[in-house]
Structure 1
Amino acid sequence: MSQLASLWNTTNRVPVVGRRIFSIAFSQKAPYFATIRPTVTELRPNYAEVRIPDRRRVHNHIGTVHAIALCNGLEMAMGALAEVTIPSDKRWIPKGMEVAYTAKASSDIRCIAETDQTQWDEANGDLAVRVKGVRDDGTVVVEGVIRLWVTPKK
């Protein structure tokens, strides 16, 4: 079990407070994550969900959640998923992101990252993580792929 999975399991013994503690701790791994004040709401192999609150600090000029804040949330979800999913004999690094903005992000946003276990088991190079951001009413506001480079550990 990865260190991140252990931390998730430990902090989630106290569900609401534990998620906040976990999210703050995980945000320290890449401090720019803290700019969106994320909360990791679900984390398991092949699935991660991060909530970005709709607040002025992450708004764009039209008063919706900014595209880069959305990408930040998607990247955090992807990173959490990768850490708890990758086999112990492999390593990963992000390679690129392709996203489409499909609707206004006018509420809190659930940033979701998903993979299939066979992707990780067979990974030797490119691995595509499916990502999307969803408004409170269920509307997808951003969707795409974050590409990882997965290689054996030396």
Structure 2
Amino acid sequence: MPKHNRLSLAAHLIQRLPRRLHEPLLSRLFCSQVRFAGTANVRIQKLSIDEVRMSLANQRRVRNHIGGVHAAAMALLAESASGCMVGMNLPDHKLPLIKTLKVDYRRRANGGLRAIATLTQEQRRAMLEQEKGEALIEVTMLDDTGSEPIRCEMHWAWVSKHQ
């Protein structure tokens, strides 16, 4: 767990509770800070320094005109997962900033979506050691059939909050 990181501490404490409470409490924690994710009903299945897993059900509030998850909701899920991955690893005295959000829509999504974000050891080390830096966060997006309807690149940066 990174030093002085309130998000990773909160996730660690929640994960000490019974397993059935993990998803609702992690999701409530995240959505209380990222209100748009709360509006879309983004859910967190896993929140650790190694991996973030989130999901978005194909519900009426996020559907497009053809019955699938709206393109903007897909991008929200990818940005949320990558942002949490950065947030779990960045010390609190550093500020995460999204620089580039690139989403390639490859095919229509079937059902809901799952996002899996990860970091390399080098990226994690840079976030801990460098006052200022950048990282391209890998996010895999899968629909209910296990297909990858979109490919995304989330380019994050960080700076010291006390500049």
Same fold (TM over 0.5): yes
| Structure 2 residue aligned with 1:3 | 6
Q: Please report how far the alpha carbon of residue 118 of structure 1 lies from its aligned counterpart in structure 2 after TM superposition.
A: 0.3
Q: Please report how far the alpha carbon of residue 132 of structure 1 lies from its aligned counterpart in structure 2 after TM superposition.
A: 2.7
User: Does residue 1:139 correspond to 2:142, yes or no?
Assistant: no
The within-5 A match list for 1:24-35 is: 24-35=28-39
Looking at structure 1, the residues matched to 51 and 144 of structure 2 have their Cα atoms a distance apart, in angstroms, of 19
CA 1:32–1:97: 2 relative to 1, 3 Å: same
User: Does residue 1:99 correspond to 2:99, yes or no?
Assistant: no
- Secondary structure of the residue aligned to 2:64 is coil
Which of these residues, 43, 47, 52, is aligned with residue 39 of structure 1? 43
Question: 1:103, 1:139 within 8 Å by CA — same for their partners in 2?
Answer: no
Which of these residues, 155, 158, 161, is aligned with residue 150 of structure 1? 158
Looking at structure 2, the residues matched to 120 and 109 of structure 1 have their Cα atoms a distance apart, in angstroms, of 26
Question: 2:106, 2:149 within 8 Å by CA — same for their partners in 1?
Answer: yes
Equivalent residue letter for 2:59: R
Question: 1:92, 1:148 within 8 Å by CA — same for their partners in 2?
Answer: yes
Q: Please report how far the alpha carbon of residue 153 of structure 1 lies from its aligned counterpart in structure 2 after TM superposition.
A: 5.2
Looking at structure 1, the residues matched to 48 and 35 of structure 2 have their Cα atoms a distance apart, in angstroms, of 22
The within-5 A match list for 1:14-29 is: 14-29=18-33
Question: 1:87, 1:120 within 8 Å by CA — same for their partners in 2?
Answer: no
The within-5 A match list for 1:71-110 is: 71-87=75-91, 90-110=94-114
Per-residue CA distance 1:64-83 (angstroms, 9 max, x = gap): 00111111111111121111
- RMSD between aligned residues: 1.9
Q: Gaps (5+ residues) in structure 1?
A: none
TM-score normalised by length of structure 2: 0.84
Q: Gaps (5+ residues) in structure 2?
A: none
Q: Please report how far the alpha carbon of residue 47 of structure 1 lies from its aligned counterpart in structure 2 after TM superposition.
A: 1.9
Aligned residue pairs: how many? 154
Among the aligned pairs, what percent are the same residue?
23
TM-score normalised by length of structure 1: 0.88
Question: 1:11, 1:19 within 8 Å by CA — same for their partners in 2?
Answer: no
Equivalent residue letter for 1:6: L
